[in-house]
Structure 1
């Protein structure tokens, strides 16, 4: 008999399944696509020897979150490779700013802002684990480390209001590029929180790439689920909750929009209306390139970075993100670029290597992004176009067809506003519960939100275990530890 059914096998669905299976429950997972993983899929697109990450490529939270710390990817053979420079930001004048693993080394290249950068990031790095656990929580419990909470909150407030402004363009652009990962208006409390979280982890647990591609993380999670009796059903599009039968527990790694379609009239009107009001943010438009050499960045320092932010100056990024959030198409959107072989040389086959990139675009944008992104890269790496052997684009609208959780191309699974960061997807004491008995939400549309950290699924599963099985102690997740029940 199946004890729990999970719909969706993105990182949160997989984390929920690991947690429930480790507690001794018989788990079945249902996936619309033919392969599991959601945002953790990697495939050879153009050359059988060169693997491309279809969604996520760089994983700061896989190195930092409480779920993955306990799951221990390294012990399972998944190597998280750390670039010397987690992220870099080329500037229009040919200069560049870089965030090194060391706060001190980063500050040394920021001139008049050296001390400011150290004062901003240093205290967060000193309490990094507590800061990460604070942000990647259910947003309902008191912080275990009040000092870390104060350090984080004061910095978010300062960089929301502009009180923490830097003087040099290098420092301003470096931090604003990280804030843009919130994919929304700048400045805002949500973007400042993202800047503090991701900015400081570059100097602590890092921004690693999984050796061999993001799918290695999904494979490790799936292997643990299978080892503990779980079963996968791929190519199975669950269209109605009734298809799952009388399973006592159902965890849904789906968006509120998809939940409405699955549950229909079973949901009370007030809750249904609340889900319908859930807002989605701007979209991501993805381009994959097969190239015959490293990206020829004008500034060689940029070529050493794991992630590259293409946005220009601080003022440029603010203009780009606010225009995109307002639904306006612009010719120079904010673009993120990853050349995986810089950090993981095994991703190259001879001179051939993958390049991963996406642009922030308006919600539901239908444009093929290949030329848009290629032009943006070319501006900072003249000659890039000549290295391109093959390319493929996925518009924001197409992203939703690929993964229904990315509504309108919103890879954050919901607009990152202050309200929706705290009341995600609706205001409830337990954000994972729903009005339907035994049915839980566990997607990135629940706290703590987007990124590959597994915490939405893990926390939803812990809630289900408490409420339905009286289990208050989280199950062990390490590779050699046994189930609770």
Structure 2
């Protein structure tokens, strides 16, 4: 390894690691980004997991927050090769009774499709959509007094409620089911406080930007980030799993895209007893079980319009989804889990050989569960797309343990870096107004275990880097 002195070293090349590195490099600092794997990307990797020519997104696939993130919006990624395609529908939610609810790429069509629930949906989402730019800066970061407090207060009145409360306002199965699917992205019981927040954000972002698919796979996002980072003069090293900070080159600041579990296992970090206790008390959320398929054709949904949706939520009614998410949270294996399904090849011809397709899906499971959910996930797809099993050419599965082995940030298969309930929504991983700082003055944490949590948005990395810039270099960047 080069023994140059760096202003900052960043460990981990996921979206937050890159966001931290780019934020620092933009200010003229000398930075080194280190990745343990030979392939950069963290949760944004694309690989041939099944058969030659079938390109599968290993973790993240659809990117609702890519267009909505203030940080990503500040970057010239299109100039560095990144291109998105936006499916006709952001999300589809088929029901056993033959009805399907759709999250359209605009508010009016979504509301119109919900019939008598359209007005209720519009009243919930319109204020978030109209004030998204100011709200995004307020909610996608640490707790601070917002620029527009009245907008945030109006958002909070709904966002802090359990999703179950707002579901009771809907009169139709479609309205309640669509809400359940959005809220279930939070990977926790829908009766928990603040579970309405994720549903409000994903719905509004879908109505404003759609849920885009990166051409070439999620790897295309990180490739563009790398290209831009290098254009600024940033340095990258791969294939170096850091287990002792004493082995690192000389540096002023260290920013770690790691979870509390990894921080505690890293040699050379002598945290204070109080900080160490808080890291030890950090709570993980449910894990996921994931399947990738090589398929002979598009998935034969009963409602063919589902083929035009970026994501298809498979879980039937609100009541069924809520019951199964709660059971999984309590450590039980459920027969009909809530499944998130997408077929990127329907929108991006680069993903599979001509005439063939890819499929991608996961469900929420107890953290670290050793159970195989292949049958349960495929049965849920078959339930709404009879004949799906006949299209399977090959499959690849990831259990929670295998996901953690692939990316140590996914502790027990937890892709959100810790449960994002009301107690860990902003006070993550510690009870601090600036949770990116550790008890060591030159060491910071920028992973999804910090606000605003999981997702491909880069905001955790941006805020960690901004904190380090202010603390050590008297620089205060803004987006």
Cα deviation 1:383-425 (Å, max 9, x = unaligned): 0010000101000121111111110000000011101012110
Which of 4, 8, 26 is the equivalent residue of 2:8? 4
Tell me the equivalent position of 2:152.
Answer: 149
SS in 1 for 2:300: coil
Tell me the equivalent position of 1:229.
Answer: 233
Q: How does 1:415-426 map to 2 (within 5 A)?
A: 415-426=419-430
CA distance in 1, matches of 2:150, 2:303: 39
CA distance in 1, matches of 2:110, 2:83: 25
SS in 2 for 1:33: coil
Q: What root-mean-square deviation, in Å, do the aligned CA atoms of Structure 1 and Structure 2 show? A: 1.6
Q: How does 1:233-382 map to 2 (within 5 A)?
A: 233-263=237-267, 266-382=270-386
Is the contact made by 2:24 and 2:469 (CA closer than 8 Å) also made in structure 1?
Answer: yes
Deviates more, 1:28-37 or 1:290-299: 28-37
CA distance in 2, matches of 1:219, 1:173: 36
Is 1:52 the counterpart of 2:51 in the alignment? no
SS in 2 for 1:4: strand
Change (3 A) 1:289 1:160: closer
Tell me the equivalent position of 1:132.
Answer: 136
Tell me the equivalent position of 1:67.
Answer: 71
CA distance in 1, matches of 2:276, 2:161: 37
Which of 18, 25, 38 is the equivalent residue of 1:21? 25
Tell me the equivalent position of 2:390.
Answer: 386
Per the normalisation by structure 2, the TM-score is 0.96
CA distance in 2, matches of 1:54, 1:79: 19
1:159: Cα distance to partner?
5.1
Which of 450, 474, 479 is the equivalent residue of 1:446? 450
Deviates more, 1:395-404 or 1:157-166: 157-166
CA distance in 2, matches of 1:134, 1:199: 18
SS in 2 for 1:19: helix
1:188: Cα distance to partner?
2.2
CA distance in 1, matches of 2:258, 2:436: 12
Is 1:182 the counterpart of 2:186 in the alignment? yes
SS in 1 for 2:311: strand
Tell me the equivalent position of 1:101.
Answer: 105
Is the contact made by 1:369 and 1:394 (CA closer than 8 Å) also made in structure 2?
Answer: no
SS in 1 for 2:113: coil
Per the normalisation by structure 1, the TM-score is 0.95
1:246: Cα distance to partner?
3.2
1:263: Cα distance to partner?
4.5
SS in 1 for 2:423: helix
Is the contact made by 2:427 and 2:433 (CA closer than 8 Å) also made in structure 1?
Answer: no
Q: Give the gaps of 5 or more residues in structure 1.
A: 477-485
1:192: Cα distance to partner?
0.8
Tell me the equivalent position of 1:483.
Answer: none
1:450: Cα distance to partner?
0.7
Is the contact made by 2:271 and 2:440 (CA closer than 8 Å) also made in structure 1?
Answer: yes
Deviates more, 1:125-134 or 1:321-330: 125-134
CA distance in 2, matches of 1:194, 1:4: 33
CA distance in 2, matches of 1:337, 1:391: 14
Tell me the equivalent position of 1:201.
Answer: 205
Deviates more, 1:55-64 or 1:230-239: 230-239
Change (3 A) 1:443 1:108: same
Is the contact made by 1:87 and 1:98 (CA closer than 8 Å) also made in structure 2?
Answer: yes
Change (3 A) 1:157 1:424: closer
CA distance in 1, matches of 2:28, 2:320: 52
Cα deviation 1:122-155 (Å, max 9, x = unaligned): 22211122222222122x2111122321231122
CA distance in 1, matches of 2:474, 2:340: 44
1:161: Cα distance to partner?
6.4
SS in 1 for 2:393: strand
